[in-house]
């Protein structure tokens, strides 16, 4: 059994366990307008041509409700019953009628959505599934995507930035010298090394999940005969992540 399989299993179990009991979304950064800016970041990539979209991992639909102002029809898909209950309340309170909620896992997307859609948005979810499941997810998305449609994956942790993230480089608003960065990096590595020596079968979980290189998404795009485009996040404190768009050749 590979270490990657073990790591992914831990990430997936933690993710399922955490969100099954949650009733509201928690922004990954402390910016007050994170939800609004995330909705804008997603809609800028598809606004003007898309009418029917799917928000995969919609949670309590805070972002979905913001998107509903700009698109004709939205499917909100999530596996967490507790989050979908909160989503129903948010939708009713805002008087929105064009969001259709679906209780399902993301790998069921082409089973529960029976019409072609213009765009599929998935934000801050991908890090909790394996590369094999990621490839299968994109393949299933392609099955329900219109010819001019797009699959938009937002907030993918960039493996090249993981060490800087772990020393709180992106959370620190003040200047960090090279000396300070090296000190924090060595301290982190020594701490992890100590834990591995002192605890049997120690597994370091960083709270994020799987970190990816852009090459993984390029390979998945090629496998599914899709064009792959990459974009940096618009959030400064969120710049350790990147966005990906898949579309038909």
**Span 15-33, pLDDT tens digits:** 455 445 554 555 554 444 7
Instruction: Check: CB of residue 112 under 8 Å from CB of residue 40.
Output: no
Give the tokens for residue 48.
Answer: 């003007």
Q: Which residue has the higher pLDDT, 73 or 25?
A: 73
Q: What is the mean pLDDT of the chain?
A: 84
Q: Band the pLDDT of 5: cuts 50, 70, 90.
A: very low
Structure tokens at 24: 């509201």
The full set of domain ranges for the chain reads: 3-159+209-248, 163-198
Tell me the pLDDT tens digit for each residue of 169-206. Answer: 887 667 889 999 999 999 999 988 888 888 877 777 78
**Contact status, residue 99 vs residue 65, Cβ threshold 8 Å:** yes
**Most confident of the following: 17-31, 88-102, 221-235:** 88-102
Distances 173 to 107, 122, 160, 166, 168 between C-alpha atoms, Å: 38, 28, 20, 15, 10
**Residue 228: per-residue pLDDT:** 97
Q: How far is CA 226 from the centre of its chain?
A: 20
Instruction: Quote the CATH superfamily of domain 3-159+209-248.
Output: Vaccinia Virus protein VP39 (3.40.50.150)
CA 20 vs CA 49, 59, 98: distances in Å: 34, 10, 25
Q: Do 152 and 243 form a contact (C-beta atoms < 8 A)? A: yes
CA triple 244-131-160, angle to 5 deg: 60
Residue 75 burial (CB count, 10 A)? 23
Per-residue model confidence as pLDDT tens digits over 47-64 = 777 899 999 999 999 889
């Amino acid at each position: 059994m590979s270490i990657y399989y073990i790591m992914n299993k831990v990430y997936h179990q933690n993710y399922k366990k955490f969100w099954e009991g949650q009733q509201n979304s928690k922004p990954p950064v402390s910016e007050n307008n994170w939800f609004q800016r995330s909705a804008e970041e997603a809609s800028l990539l598809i606004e003007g041509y898309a009418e029917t979209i799917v928000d995969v991992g919609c949670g309590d639909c805070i972002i979905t409700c913001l998107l509903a102002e700009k698109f004709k029809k939205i499917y909100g898909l999530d596996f967490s019953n507790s989050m979908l209950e909160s989503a129903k309340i948010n939708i009713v309170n805002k008087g929105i009628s064009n969001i259709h909620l679906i209780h399902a896992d993301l790998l069921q997307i082409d089973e529960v959505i029976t019409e072609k859609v213009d765009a599929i948005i998935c934000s801050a979810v991908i890090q909790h599934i394996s590369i094999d499941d990621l490839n299968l997810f994109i393949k299933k998305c392609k099955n329900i995507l219109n010819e001019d449609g797009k699959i938009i994956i937002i907030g993918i942790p960039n493996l090249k930035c993981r060490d800087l993230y772990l020393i709180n480089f992106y959370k620190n608003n003040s200047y960090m010298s090279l000396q300070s960065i090296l000190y924090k990096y060595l301290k982190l590595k020594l701490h992890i090394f100590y834990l591995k020596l002192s605890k049997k079968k120690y597994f370091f979980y960083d709270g994020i999940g799987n970190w990816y290189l852009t090459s993984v998404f390029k390979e998945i795009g090629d496998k599914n005969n899709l064009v792959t485009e990459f974009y940096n996040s618009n959030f400064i404190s969120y710049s350790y992540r990147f966005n990906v768009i898949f579309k038909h050749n």
